[in-house]
Amino acid sequence: MSSTSIAVMASGRGTNLKVILDAVKAGDCPVDVSLVIADKGDAEALNIARIAGVEHVVHVNPKDYSGREQFDAECADLLDKHGCQWIVLAGYMRILSSAFVRRFRGRIINIHPSILPAFAGAKAVEDALLYGVKVSGCTVHLVDEVLDGGAILAQAIVPVFDDDTRDTLHARIQIEEHKIYPATLKRMVEEGFSIEGRRVIWAGKQ
């Protein structure tokens, strides 16, 4: 099966990028990670991509652009230049402009460390702990103009313990992230889906 070209956009540690690259290398995910973009020059994701042999690894510095739309336009041009069919946000900590979302509508996915719609935003794990939830988890969703409001592709839940800290809960969530993200990417490429209202309807049998 010919592989689908994807780009991964990251800002930090890159553990989700790593598990996707490992799944591709193991033949478990028929995609080609042709481009990795990070908005932070010290993002470990950049090193992970280089070590894995990703052909195009780029730090795009927001400080080099006059605003969010100009920065996003540079990233968009890179994505088009490399023919990326899917844009996979993996710990990408910038809100994408409406212009960018419009340009790639239906082709951007994100992993979020909560059971959306609960706890959208940049501090989901902290917010869930403060609220006192007893379960949390992660969500893979399509990305649109509404922050963390896109249609949901997959979710996984974890227990929250009384002695949890932000770090212990996040570590438990990431165990599930590292399973659900490569698996959902594989399903998207091999099975496909349609959207009915807010609902993602997978093409294959459940």
Ligand X SMILES: Nc1nc2c(c(=O)[nH]1)N[C@@H](CN(C=O)c1ccc(C(=O)N[C@@H](CCC(=O)O)C(=O)O)cc1)CN2
Report helix angle 166-190 to 15-25, nearest 10.
40
Q: Per CB under 6 A, does 96 bind ligand X?
A: yes
Q: Per CB under 6 A, does 71 bind ligand X?
A: no
- Which one of the listed residues 112, 141, 170, 178 is annotated catalytic? 112
Looking at the DSSP bridge assignments, the partners of residue 108 are: 87
Token pair 């890159």 is at which residue?
A: 14
Instruction: Select from 14-22, 69-77, 80-88, 126-134 the region that touches ligand GAR (CB under 6 A).
Output: 14-22
Q: Per CB under 6 A, does 124 bind ligand GAR?
A: yes
For the question of residue 59 being annotated catalytic, the response is no
- Give dist(CA 64, CA 171) in Å, integer: 34
| Residue nearer to ligand GAR on the CB measure, 112 or 187 | 112
Q: Which of 73, 147, 151, 152 binds ligand X (CB under 6 A)?
A: 147
- Give dist(CA 45, CA 42) in Å, integer: 8
Which two three-digit tokens encode residue 4? 């689908």
Q: Per CB under 6 A, does 21 bind ligand GAR?
A: no
Q: Per CB under 6 A, does 142 bind ligand GAR?
A: no
| Residue nearer to ligand GAR on the CB measure, 6 or 138 | 138
Q: Which of 6, 7, 14, 109 binds ligand GAR (CB under 6 A)?
A: 14
In eight-state DSSP terms, residue 13 is: -
Task: Using CB atoms within 10 Å of the CB of residue 138, give its burial: 0 to 12 exposed, 13 to 18 middle, 19+ buried.
Answer: buried
- Give dist(CA 188, CA 123) in Å, integer: 27
The conformational region for residue 119 under phi > 0 = left, psi -120 to 50 = alpha, else beta, is left
16 binds, among ligand GAR, ligand X, none (CB under 5 to 8 A by kind): ligand GAR
Minimal distance in Å, beta carbon 205 to ligand GAR? 29
Binding site for ligand X (CB under 6 A): 89, 92-96, 101, 110, 112, 121-122, 143, 145, 147-148, 150
Active site residues: 112
